[in-house]
């Protein structure tokens, strides 16, 4: 079974600082990878996803993530965070096995951006 590790559970940054959130997964085959964001009091929304092609994926609100297959990683980055980026960020993996979707989420990283 696949698993997802998010290394930073709580990150505090000042506005304009750069962000990198780590995500590693374990699965022997091909995967689809996702980052979801949950703003305070809101539901999960898709930030970006990788399913094939260019391993550098650009998402909404200036976020990007890079899939490094050899490292089983899919780290999320943003060059300059804003106060409105304060939220919980979840990395997720879906094995591309041709079987039913069975997304596994990481435990989440709480990002707090200080004005």
Partner 1 sequence: DTAVSQTPKYLVTQMGNDKSIKCEQNLGHDTMYWYKQDSKKFLKIMFSYNNKELIINETVPNRFSPKSPDKAHLNLHINSLELGDSAVYFCASSQARIAGGPTDTQYFGPGTRLTVL
Interface residues with partner 1 (CB under 8 A)? 30, 32, 34, 36, 42-46, 49, 51, 88, 90, 94-105, 107-108, 110
CB 15 within 8 A of CB 79: no
To partner 1, the closest distance from the beta carbon of 16 in angstroms equals 27
The continuous run of DSSP H or E covering 20 comes out as strand 19-21
For partner 1, the closer CB: 99 or 115: 99
User: Which residues sit opposite 64 in a β-bridge?
Assistant: 58, 77
For partner 1, the closer CB: 10 or 71: 10
Within a 10 A sphere around the Cβ of 111, how many other Cβ atoms?
21
For partner 1, the closer CB: 40 or 115: 40
**Alpha carbon distance 109, 49 (integer Å):** 17
To partner 1, the closest distance from the beta carbon of 55 in angstroms equals 16
To partner 1, the closest distance from the beta carbon of 33 in angstroms equals 11
Q: How many CA atoms lie within 13 A of 34 on its CB side?
A: 18
For partner 1, the closer CB: 52 or 115: 52
């Amino acid at each position: 079974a696949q698993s997802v590790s998010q290394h930073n559970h709580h990150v505090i940054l000042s506005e304009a600082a750069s962000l990198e959130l780590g995500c590693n997964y374990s699965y022997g085959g091909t995967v689809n990878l996702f980052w979801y964001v949950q703003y305070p009091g809101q539901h999960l929304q898709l930030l970006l996803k990788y399913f094939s092609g260019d391993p550098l994926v650009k998402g909404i609100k200036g976020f990007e993530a890079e899939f490094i297959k050899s490292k089983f990683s899919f780290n999320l980055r943003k060059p300059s965070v804003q106060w409105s980026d304060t939220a919980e960020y979840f990395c997720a993996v879906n094995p591309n096995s041709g079987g039913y979707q069975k997304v596994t989420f990481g435990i989440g990283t709480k990002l707090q951006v200080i004005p």
